[in-house]
Amino acid sequence: MNRRVAYLLIVLALVALPGVQAALAQNNANPQAVVSVELAVLRDAPSNAGNFVASLPQSTQVTLLDVDNSGRWFQVETADGKLGLGP
């Protein structure tokens, strides 16, 4: 699948989720997402049983890196370099 189309599909999936708003960042290979819930929790695995990585307050900007096969968990990187997964 064309990389640009794949990113567009990921962004559209993010927009459909209640806790996340997304927009493509100009001149960046990965889309940027903004936390729209009061507090988002990142985990080290795509499960609520995964170990805690970070909590992100509303309006925190992250870089979208990947989405798991279920389409429910997104791997993101925070501005300070933390990697984690969130639904």
pLDDT tens for each residue of 30-71: 888 899 889 999 999 999 999 999 999 999 999 999 988 888
Is the pTM here over 0.75, yes or no?
no
Percentage of the chain surpassing pLDDT 90?
49
CA distance 85 to 74: 5
- Six-digit token pair at 4? 């640009």
Domains of the chain: 3-86 (2.30.30.40)
Summary mean pLDDT of the chain? 77
Give residue 27's identity as a one-letter amino acid code.
Answer: N
CA distance 48 to 30: 25
Q: Which one has a higher pLDDT value, 2 or 40?
A: 40
Mean local confidence (pLDDT), 4-17? 48
CA distances from 72 to 27, 46, 69, 85 (A): 26, 8, 8, 10
